Chains A and B, each alone.
Chain A
């Protein structure tokens, strides 16, 4: 019974991790059809922000939850202005350019920080599920994931900005005719997605080895989850994360984390064969 409890807890934590690493990419891809191959490196920058801030003596919660999204959001804004905005509508070119950015960021971080693994201390301890110990930090990850999902949903559903965002996504020309400036909206969306990536990097910093090449580990999982989710960003991310996160956690538990990742990716490829439009391309089409 304790084992079931622990397993269930780990599955939820796995899902939450997947939600975190996917959300930023999903916002950018879902809104603008831009596949940001530098997403993993944005997370890496978030993690480096956290580790540098903690080393500088800043409160760990501020270093983890506040600074990374702000800083990475600004970097995303800068990148959108200088590079991405010239490439809208050219999906392969944006992939290539953002891949160039990703390599460049890896190179830059290696040059500045050196090619070594750094760590952020885990700020909270553990608790017991029956006879087993579990990490309290997983609760932080789960809370952050829920906050991210609910926050995005509220933003899109309840605010005027969200309304404009959705309208621009559906029909940029019509939105422009009604006085909205789509380039400004795209800029804001890209910055928002970058900030979410930074947040993910910051929150996951204590549980990952922080190195310049850490982004590669996230990117394929994030992508495949976005594609598996389909056109509805929030619901899709939630559903696909739940499905893939469960598979990943269960297989990891039975075998090794590597086989768990492989199972996730294999399941995702299989699902894209069955549902080429993703989960929300077939079900729950009217969701967000």
Chain B
């Protein structure tokens, strides 16, 4: 039996993910593992942006809004409830509902692409300013002090589902994080292989044509936007868990910029690319952060400009379309961007 290369790619990805999930704890010490855990959270955040932008063709400049909402929703809920099972659900639900409201305004208003970028940007700025101004005892939700600029410290970590007396230690947190990343990857692949996913990609390719065939782009874009928001929310939840702390900087422009850079560097129109971009860039930032000669923003900016000018398609498509065919490892493909629509039944 011949396995289609795309399915093979998918299986290799999942196998690789499982290998890393069980292999890295054997290789790395606990500190390294904890550091990798935050990379995993960022990789999931990048998946959200990569799905929305690369497949939905929707350019969000404020995906950090959903990341931050997820993180804050988890922190507030877990402080109030004690047990972390429901707060994880809330951390996904709050961004999804928020995305539904915002998306309704944007997509049903038929706002052009560039304006969607600006509105999402604006919304994340609004959230940043709002949360930033909540310092003082007057601002609290239940038992959770919002803390304004200082954020919420001491957020309880995840615990075994339904059992708040057994919190996860950092080693177990790694398995939880990578496990959820693999799950999100599988879910997004499944969505893209489904009829819904094909329509989403069709709308990205040609909105008018999809509309003439009888699909309502507004509805599909709205759902794509909500799915991406949910993924970003889960990533925010993992991020909060990693440090047990969340502050308004999760809403900042740097956060939204970073995730766009992850996707752009890794490769637009792939799911692997954003994850590789996230881990690679985060690793670079960690190195850059340990020296104090130049500001990390300077490096980020240069990377972003360089990639827009020189490698606009990103690393993964570059390797797949140029390097691998050149090395005769895989046959040259006729289409430049593989899409979910091409995944066989």
**Interfacial residues, chain A to chain B (CB-CB below 8 A):** 35, 83, 86-87, 91-93, 95-97, 99-108, 110-111, 115, 212, 216, 219-220, 223-224, 227, 256, 258-259, 261-262, 265-266, 268-269, 272-273, 276
Contacts and interface: CB of A to CB of B under 8 A. Distances in A.
Interface string B302-333: 11111011001000000000000000000000
B129 A104 contact: no
12 contacts: A83-B309, A92-B113, A96-B260, A99-B257, A105-B301, A108-B295, A111-B293, A216-B125, A262-B129, A265-B123, A266-B126, A268-B122
B47 to A, nearest CB: 19
Q: Is the interface of A mostly helix, strand, loop or mixed?
A: helix
Nearest to B134: A258
Given A93-B308, A104-B298, A104-B301, A35 B260 contact: no
A103 B119 contact: no
Given A97-B305, A272-B119, A273-B105, 5 more contacts: A83-B305, A93-B312, A100-B301, A100-B303, A273-B109
Given A101-B301, A104-B302, A96 B308 contact: yes
Interface residues of B, number: 45
A96 B121 CA distance: 13
A103 B264 contact: no
Interface string B198-228: 0000000000000000000000000000000
B184 interface: no
B276 to A, nearest CB: 19
Contacts of B252: 216
B126 A272 contact: no
A216 B257 CA distance: 12
Contact of B114 (A92, A212, A273): A92
Contact of B105 (A35, A95, A102, A269): A269
Interface in B272-302: 293-302
Contacts of B112: 276
In the complex, which of the residues B61, B125, B296, B302 has the most CB atoms of chain A within 10 Å of its own CB atom?
Answer: B125
B281 to A, nearest CB: 12
B118 interface: yes
B280 to A, nearest CB: 17
B117 interface: yes
B133 A256 contact: yes
Contact of B117 (A86, A92, A224): A92
B56 to A, nearest CB: 14
B114 A35 contact: yes
Dominant SS among interface residues on chain B: helix
A241 B118 CA distance: 17
A102 B130 CA distance: 23
Interface of B: 59, 61, 105, 109-115, 117-119, 121-123, 125-126, 129-130, 132-133, 252-254, 257, 260, 264, 293-306, 308-309, 312
Contacts of A276: 109-112, 115
A111 B295 contact: yes
Contacts of A103: 254, 257, 297-298, 300-301, 304
A107 B297 contact: yes
Given A87-B308, A258-B133, A107 B118 contact: no
Contacts of A216: 125, 252-253
A258 to B, nearest CB: 4
A59 to B, nearest CB: 32
A224 B304 contact: no
Nearest to A95: B117
Contacts of A95: 59, 61, 114, 117
A86 B257 contact: no
Contact of B304 (A99, A256, A266): A99
A99 B309 CA distance: 13
Contacts of B61: 95, 99
Contacts of B296: 107
B305 A223 contact: no
B59 A92 contact: yes
Contact of B309 (A91, A97, A107, A262): A97
A100 B298 CA distance: 9
Of the candidates B126, B254, B299, the one having the most CB atoms from chain A within 10 angstroms of its own CB is B126
A106 B121 contact: no
A97 B308 contact: yes
B149 to A, nearest CB: 12
B125 A101 contact: no
A220 B302 contact: no
Contact of A110 (B110, B133, B297, B306): B297
4 closest pairs, A vs B, by CB? A107-B298, A104-B301, A100-B304, A107-B297
